[in-house]
Amino acid sequence: LKFIRKIVFERTKSIENPRVVFKVIRKNGQYRQLEIVQRSGNSKWDLAVQDAIKQSIPLPDPPKDEIPTLPENLILTFTPRE
């Protein structure tokens, strides 16, 4: 995903591996609306991921050969150490 490169977060300052979950809702034929589903407990990580996703909106559709019917929502989960 193109927005992973846009996440600005100093991994060395966090010994934890916070997990944040976002939902991107499909509106008017594009994935545009962003909602947080689960906060990580690290507001800096949450904000870094949110900013990166927002910079990439509208998100591209998933490949049709992998997902033939486009879902109404994309659930995206992020940790700094995947």
- 48 CB neighbour count, 10 Å cutoff: 19
According to the model, what pLDDT value does residue 2 have? 65
Please determine, for residue 79, whether its predicted confidence score (pLDDT) is greater than 70: yes
- The predicted-structure confidence for 22-78, as pLDDT tens digits, reads as follows 999 998 889 999 999 999 999 999 999 999 999 988 988 888 898 889 899 999 999
Q: Which residues pair with residue 76 across a beta bridge?
A: 22
According to the model, what pLDDT value does residue 81 have? 79
Its pTM stands at 0.82
Residue 59 DSSP SS3: strand
According to the model, what pLDDT value does residue 35 have? 96
